[in-house]
Amino acid sequence: MTLSDRVKSILQVVLEETCRELPNGGDHESRKVIAEQPLVAAEAWHTTLDELRAAALRAFLSAAKMTRQ
């Protein structure tokens, strides 16, 4: 699936919003991990801002949980 420019823009916004919670906006690896779930969601036609935010939040919480272990 080729993502529209609109969806790509939403993905970028969601990633920036989510990574704001990380020190210095997150390192490359953290940002990559967080970006993967919204991208998968978008490829499955879940392309609204709320759907992509939810996917990014799940990734963020999962990454934070793994970091604490």
Give the global pTM.
0.87
Which two structure tokens, joined as six digits, stand for 24? 């210095």
Q: Greatest CA span in the chain, whole angstroms? A: 38
Tokens representing residue 37 in the block: 């779930």
**CA nearest to 13, candidates 43, 44, 37, 38:** 38
Q: What are the pLDDT digits (tens) for 7-47?
A: 999 999 999 999 998 889 889 998 999 999 999 999 999 99
